[in-house]
Each structure stands twice: as C-alpha cells, then as structure tokens.
Amino acid sequence: MLILTSPEFEGRPSGGATPHRSAYYITRQLQKYNLDVQFQQFEFEFGFFDSATGHNVVATQYCKRIQCKPPIVITAHYDHLGKRGSRYFPGANDNASGVVVMIDIAKQLHNEDINRDIIYVATDAEEKGLHGAKAFVKKLAGREVYMNINLDMLDLQKKNKLYALASRSLQPLKSDITTTFNATPIKFRLYFSAKIMARRLNAPQIDWLRASDHYPFHRANIPFIYFGAGLDKNHHSVKDTFDEINFEKLTQVSNAITKFVRSQTSDNASATN
C-alpha cells in the first residue's frame, strides 16, 4: 500500500499507451502466488472526442479438478486521479485499500483446492467511467460467471462500519455473507437495494448500484456483491493518504472477505452450518 500510494506512482493515472508502473507492481505481487497473470489491453472513450488505452491486470487461480463450477471474479480498481500540477492524489482508500485486500485474498487462498476458478481483476480506468470492468465483462463474451465480488474503498475509519450491496438473486446467501463478520468487531451491513442503502447511509445523492465496477457485471446479469466502507471525507482529495488507513481494521476486513470467498469456492460451503 505504501508503494501504491507513493509519489513515484503519481496517483496511478489511467490512459497511458503502456501499462502504468502500478500495474506491473500488482502483477509481480500476484505472480508470487502462482497465478496466471495477464494484461488485458482495451480502448476507451472519454469526453466527446478523446480515446485512450487502459490495462487491466487479470490473474487466475485455476480449479484443478475434472469438474469445475463457473468462476468467481474479484475486482478492485487500481487507477486513481493521477496528479494536478505538482500535487498527486495518493488514493489510499480509493482504491489501494481494495487492491491490497484483493492481493491478500489471493495470498490466503492460493494453495487451496478450489472447485471453481478464481479470477482476480485489478481494473483500470474506473474513475473515468468503469471502463476496465466494462472491457472485462465484454471479453467474457457470455461465459457463465458465478458472481462478482467488487472491492472499492475498504478503510473502515472511525465508524468501524463495512457495507455491502448485493444482487437480489444472492439473497439465499445472506447468512453465508453475514456470518463471516460475526466473529469480528466490524459492524457489517448488507443491502439488496441501492435505494435503501443510500437512505441508511444518509447519502441520497449516491447511486451505489452504478458507483463502481460491479455495475457492468450487474448489467450482464452476473450476480455481484460490492464491499465498501461508505462515504469518506477525503474522497478524491489529496488527503486520501496512507497515514489515514487503519491497517488493523483492514486486516479484519480482508480476513472476513477471504472467509466468504473460501465458503464459495470449497465443497464444505457454510450454507449448511
């Protein structure tokens, strides 16, 4: 996280002709866990006339069985706002937090016998319009996906609250999702309606369904769960720094989400517990 938010990474801007150095850094981290890591290059348009190139980092842990279930796709955008003048936007909570948790999940699960592929996607150009996630979904070309888990802004701050918005079709998994947080001090809230979530968060202006990379999956009828800690006073400011992150809590979040992913990729699904 210190590296992702460092001045050398210049606020992780998107739109370069070649992958940003943060994408290479994430690639090296994921390669440590024997994943098949590839860049997915794509073109995207912004404004009225401009187009640019983006690069997702796509890392797969393969199911090694004869029969495998449809894959689970875990997303976290690594791009941020870049810099303005001499100041850069570190984007620690938005979304180095999601990227480091995604890498930690890969670390914790990489030696396990999984019953479906786990595809980790560090998406690019989220801030410019969810372009990386759109490109990834497009490339799936209708391939069946079990679910998308999207991680965006996971620093719990003082409120100690973590929120999730999930597709209504995942309501049968409600207890699977919530029980993983029971043994933690985190106040976890799960919603199946973006409107109710906005009301409870006192943020009627935010459309949580369209706010991050889970939306293109939703549009493609792929069930999703979006995890995030809600509003952040430092959002999209130069104050979204490494020092503001509570790492003890981020570790709790990571362990709980890992537990949930494990429950969905192993045969002893906790649905029966």
**Token couple for 195:** 């409107």
Q: Is 232 a residue that touches Zn ion (CB under 5 A)?
A: no
User: Is position 95 an interface residue for Zn ion (rule: CB under 5 A)?
Assistant: yes
Residue 96 beta carbon to Zn ion: minimum distance, rounded to whole angstroms: 10
Query: Binding Zn ion by CB under 5 A: which of 35, 55, 82, 94?
Result: 94
Residue 104 contacts Zn ion per CB under 5 A: no
Q: Number of residues interacting with Zn ion: please give it, by CB under 5 A.
A: 3
Gap between the Cα atoms of 146 and 71, Å rounded: 6
Cα–Cα dist 186/37, whole Å: 32
Of 155, 122, 166, 191, the closest CA to residue 264 belongs to 166
**Candidates 12-20, 99-107, 152-160, 213-221 — which segment interacts with Zn ion by CB under 5 A?**
152-160
Cβ partners under 8 Å of residue 53, min gap 6 = 15, 16, 17, 41, 42, 43, 44
The least CB distance from residue 213 to Zn ion, in Å, is 8
Helices (H), the chain: 21-31, 97-109, 131-140, 174-182, 194-200, 214-219, 247-265
Of 54-62, 67-75, 89-97, 191-199, which segment contacts Zn ion by CB under 5 A? Answer: 89-97
Q: How far is the CB of 129 from Zn ion (least distance, A)?
A: 12
Identify which of residues 94 and 124 has a Cβ nearer to Zn ion in the complex: 94
User: Which residues contribute to the site for Zn ion (CB under 5 A)?
Assistant: 94-95, 152
